Amino acid sequence: MRNHKPNNLHIRLYGDKTLREIAKPVTEFTDEVKNFIDDLVFTMYEKDGVGLAAPQVGRSLRIFVVDPFWFNDEGKKNPLVLINPEFKEFQGEVESEEGCLSLPRIFESVKRAEKVIIKGLNENGEKVRYEADGLFSRALQHEYDHLNGILFVDKVPKLKRIFLKKKLHELQSTTDENGKNIGELLL
Ligand code: NI
């Protein structure tokens, strides 16, 4: 039996290399991986996120967690774990504002599919399938992108990205090669 007290993990910020890597599939559901997933869930709530992907804490693995409703559902927590996920269907298009724990203080409008169907494995290695719309759909697409080294600012139209550059540069210049925030002004 596992007896693991979850850790609040350090979030890698824009500029960190792991955020830009293609994450590797999970092949074994060891206690170490399960403990790590506990840490990921714990950290998502500690940092007030609606989702968190393994690369954001420096682990290049195809794992993310989401809970898009806990902050408005009387704080009821219902974390969903997706391992080696794959989208099976995309429907429609909708634009809405996004943020990311790895890009503090940056919020931009991003186009995403309105509805998605995603398949993957849960923390016990069992197959799961979710049909999602609204914030749930958006969170799944945002977190999935992290597994392929894609950040939401990459999806902002070019013209808008020019205005973003300064903010991104500031963020990057206060981040060391491990994504550790070394600046005073941000965060
Ligand atoms: Ni993110």
Q: 17-62: per-residue pLDDT in tens?
A: 999 999 999 999 999 999 999 999 999 999 999 999 999 999 999 9
Res 184 pLDDT > 60 = no
What is the architecture, at CATH level 2, of domain 17-175?
Alpha-Beta Complex (3.90)
Q: Tell me what percent of the residues of the chain surpass a pLDDT of 70.
A: 96
Cα–ligand 1 centroid distance for 18 (angstroms): 13
pLDDT tens-place string over residues 75-129: 789 999 999 999 999 999 999 999 999 998 899 999 999 999 999 999 999 999 9
Q: What is the pLDDT of residue 183?
A: 61
CA pair distance 82, 63, nearest whole angstrom = 6
Question: Structure pTM?
Answer: 0.92
Q: What residues contact residue 52 under an 8 Å CB cut-off, 6+ apart?
A: 40, 43, 44, 64, 65, 101, 143
Q: DSSP label at 35? A: H
Q: What is the pLDDT of residue 73?
A: 63
Cα–ligand 1 centroid distance for 1 (angstroms): 32
Cα–ligand 1 centroid distance for 67 (angstroms): 13
Identify the residue with better confidence: 158 or 147: 147
- Say how many CA atoms lie within 13 Å of 123 toward its Cβ: 17
CA pair distance 97, 156, nearest whole angstrom = 10
Catalytic residues: 143
Structure token digits, residue 5 = 């007290």
Cα–ligand 1 centroid distance for 119 (angstroms): 20
pLDDT tens-place string over residues 152-176: 999 998 888 888 888 888 888 777 7
For the chain, the domains span 17-175
Res 131 pLDDT > 90 = yes
User: Can you list the alpha helix ranges (DSSP code H) found in the chain?
Assistant: 31-46, 134-147, 158-173
Q: What is the pLDDT of residue 82?
A: 98
Contact indicator for 147, 10 with CB cutoff of 8 Å = no
